[in-house]
Structure 1
Amino acid sequence: MQVYLVGGAVRDHLLGHPYHEKDYVVVGATPEQLLAQGYQPVGKDFPVFLHPKTKEEYALARTERKSGHGYHGFEFFTDPNVSLEEDLIRRDLTINAMAMDDSGQVYDPYHGQKDLEKKLLRHVSDAFAEDPLRVLRVARFAARYHQYGFTIADETLALMQKLAESGELQALTPERVWKETSRALMEDRADVYFDVLRQCHALKILFPEIDALFGVPQRPEYHPEIDCGIHTLMSLQQACKANYSLDVRFAVLVHDLGKALTPKDELPRHIMHEERGIAPVTEVCDRLKVPTQTKQLALAVCKEHLKCHQAFTLKAGTVWRLLQRLDVLRRPERVEAFVQACECDARGRLGLEDREYPQAQYLLDVMQTVRNIKASDLPPEITGPDIGEMLIQKRIEAIADFKQKYTQPEQIT
């Protein structure tokens, strides 16, 4: 029995990129042998075991054969006679098809180290085109390793286009699409993920609402980049740069979906795009089974982001109702996330990436002001339903007083 470290850990070790998870492949062993050593079996499709102490994954060397559609359309074969090379050839990219033994020797039958040097994401074999999930995985790797200068090999991009056009992407489950996308959103250059999906024609299949933004013009005085799709990716890049949460990044990604629905005779203006965006944002979230908390913030940002930009000119009562809709008293963290997403929208514009956005601190300060007003601060003679009405009045008055401290900056739309 021989044990090798495989996949991402070997790749990132050679690249000098931080990694945490380790996966191992076991050659020349049976399930019974691993069970006898205390390994715990997991997984339904093929024999994977957890180490009795480290709980790291150990998989028996295996081959696979396409037997159906989608990510699960494979039959797996394990046997002590399956070689390391046979196991590695089924992997997606050459840089993921390397192994390392416990002495540090690297086994690289498909030239992954050369592609690391060339900074290329290249498929191992034509079997790549049998698994539609690999389109998303390669796009995610392109986002992760963009900082090192990695690009996708032309022949691999061609296979990704072939997969997109084959109809196989439709066989992916919503859970798998969201899992890969949510992981990609947390990369430093999440915008690259969506750019790659667009290059290989997968964006219009998996995210047609986002794809529809490209080519839609905006007013150049507010959006020097003009194109709505470019603005979306620039805004997402701002969220990544600030290391904001997944919820914020996703909200930024979908905040302008309504602009794809603007009637052509109204372009490049986008009146009512916030309201028009509610339906497509809801559709994306429901289709991909996006977590409820993530969906709620996305809808709030879609519907309310212009009010954040215009915060200084809003009446005190309007600001209070905005904060109330954001659940300011129970969930101040949602207000903070909302402001962060709006800030990314304001800065996701050509030449304006470093602009000041004082609305952010203004709304956060207002939030704290209204949260500091408690029922215990009211006169004792105020009782019953009058308490709620008086609290609202006091909070609006506090916002009005606070507003006097600020000047009104240039409007952002």
Structure 2
Amino acid sequence: MQVYKVGGAVRDRLLGLPVTDIDRVVVGATTEEMLAQGFRPVGADFPVFLHPKTGEEYALARTERKSGRGYGGFTFYASPEVTLEEDLIRRDLTINAMAEDDQQNLTDPYHGQRDLEARILRHVSPAFAEDPLRVLRVARFAARYAGLGFTVAPETLELMRELSESGELQALTAERSWKEISRALLEDQPQVFIEVLRDCGALKVLMPEVDALFGVPQPEAHHPEIDTGLHTLSVLQQAALHKQPLTVRWACLLHDLGKGLTPQEEWPRHIAHEHTGLKLIKAVNERFKAPKDCQELALLVGQYHTHGHRALELKASTLLELLQSFDVYRRPQRFEEFIAACEMDARGRKGLEQRSYPQADYLRGAATAARGVAVQPLLEQGFKGPALGEALKRERLKVLKAYKDAASA
């Protein structure tokens, strides 16, 4: 019975990066031997066990065979006869198919270390094409390691293209897809994830609404980058540079979907794209079963981001409607994330990345002013029920008019 560290722990150590998750493979052992040593089994599908003291995962070496469609369509075989090399060959990329023992002796049958040094993401074997989830995984690794100069090997990109065209991507569950998408969006260069998916044809299968933005022009006066797809990538890049949370990054990805519906004869203008895009944002939200906070913010940013950009020009009544739409009195954080998404949108334009965004502080000040209206005096005046709500609106409108006048003075 031999135990090896495998996958990401080996890869990141060799890259000089912090090692967080450690996966271990056990060669030459049976389930009964693991149980006899106090290991606790995890689930029924995989021969994976938890260490009796540390709680860390140990998996028996195994082989796998394609038996159906999608990510879950595999039959696994674990046995003491399965070698370390046989276990490693079923992995996705060569840089993830290395192992080391407790003395850090490296086992690298598929030249992962060579690909690490060459900064190449390369599949281990043709079996790569049996698992559609690997298209998303490779794109995610490309986003994670883009800053180190990693690129996807042409032959691997070709396999990803074949997978995208095969119909296998449709077999992915929303949960598995969202797990990869959300992790990729939180990488340092999430725009690379979208670029790789587009390069292999997966974007038009998974998110045709985003894919449709590429090649759609915008007015050059406002968008020097012109192309809506490139703008979306830049907005996502800005969100990562400014360490925005997942909710904001998801909203940044989807905020301009309505521009993909604009008839060509109306280009480069996109009148009412904020409203036409809502049904598309809703469709993408539902397709991947995005968390509720991501769904809500994406819809609100899609509908109101141009309000954010025009904040200083908005009438007090429109400003109040905006604040009410976000329920800034009970959900202040959501409005703050809206402001952040608007700022990323403004910065995601060629040559304008460093331009100040005074709308942000103006909107924060408006929200603070509206929240400052006290309810108690109105209650003491006898207002209640719907009448109280109307009285509150009148007072908030009065405060916002004074705020607007002071800001423009």
TM (norm. structure 1) is: 0.97
* Residue aligning to 1:289: 289
**Which runs of structure 2 are paired with 1:28-47 in the superposition (5 Å)?**
28-47=28-47
Tell me the equivalent position of 2:334. 334
Q: Alpha carbon RMSD of aligned pairs, Å?
A: 1.3
Q: 2:400 matched to which residue of 1?
A: 399
- Are 1:384 and 2:364 an aligned pair? no
* Per-residue CA distance 1:210-245 (angstroms, 9 max, x = gap): 000000111000011111100111001111111111
Structure 1 runs not aligned, ≥5 long: 409-413
Q: Which moved more, 1:246-255 or 1:283-292?
A: 283-292
Query: 1:246-266 CA distances to partner (integer Å, 9 max, x unpaired)?
Result: 010000100000000012221
What residue in structure 2 maps to residue 134 of structure 1?
Answer: 134
CA drift of 1:55 comes to 1.6
SS in 2 for 1:406: helix
The residue that corresponds to 1:322 in the other structure is 322
Letter in 2 for 1:248: V
Q: Superposed, which structure 2 residues align to 1:223-302 within 5 Å?
A: 223-302=223-302
- Choose 370-379 or 317-326, whichever is displaced more: 370-379
Secondary structure at 1:85 match in 2: helix
Secondary structure of 1:351's counterpart equals coil
Distance 1:367 1:235 in 2: 25
Percent of aligned pairs sharing the same letter: 60
For 1:172 and 1:236, the matched residues in 2 are separated by 24
Aligned residues of 2:309 and 2:342 also touching (Cα < 8 A): yes
Separation in structure 2 between the aligned mates of residue 407 and residue 223 of structure 1, nearest angstrom: 27
CA offset digits 1:105-149 (Å, max 9, x no partner)? 111111111111100001111111111111100000000000100
2:51 is aligned with what amino acid? H
Q: Deviations over 1:26-68 (max 9, x none)?
A: 0010111111112111133221111122221110000111111
Query: Bigger shift: 21-30 or 389-398?
Result: 389-398
Question: 1:147 — aligned with what?
Answer: 147
How far apart, CA to CA, are the structure 2 residues paired with 1:320 and 1:53?
57
Deviations 1:72-99 (A, max 9, x none): 1111111001111110011010000011
Cα distance in structure 2, aligned partners of 1:21 and 1:142: 19
1:373 and 2:373 correspond: yes
CA displacement, residues 248-299 of structure 1 (integer Å, 9 cap, x when unaligned): 0000100000000012221100001000001100111111111111101100
Supply the distance in 1 between the matched residues of 2:240 and 2:43 (Cα, whole angstroms): 33
* Pair 1:379–1:82, CA change in 2 (3 A): closer
Report the Cα distance in structure 2 between the residues aligned to 1:288 and 1:303, rounded to whole angstroms: 20
Alpha-carbon shift at residue 383 of structure 1 (Å): 2.8
| Distance in 1 (alpha carbons) for counterparts of 2:44 and 2:191 | 34
Separation in 1 of the partners of 2:326 and 2:234? Answer: 25
Task: State the match for 1:79 in structure 2.
Answer: 79
Report if the CA contact (8 A) 2:379-2:388 is conserved.
no
Structure 2 gap ranges (5+): none
Aligned partners of 2:383 and 2:391 also within 8 Å: no
Partner SS for 1:55: coil
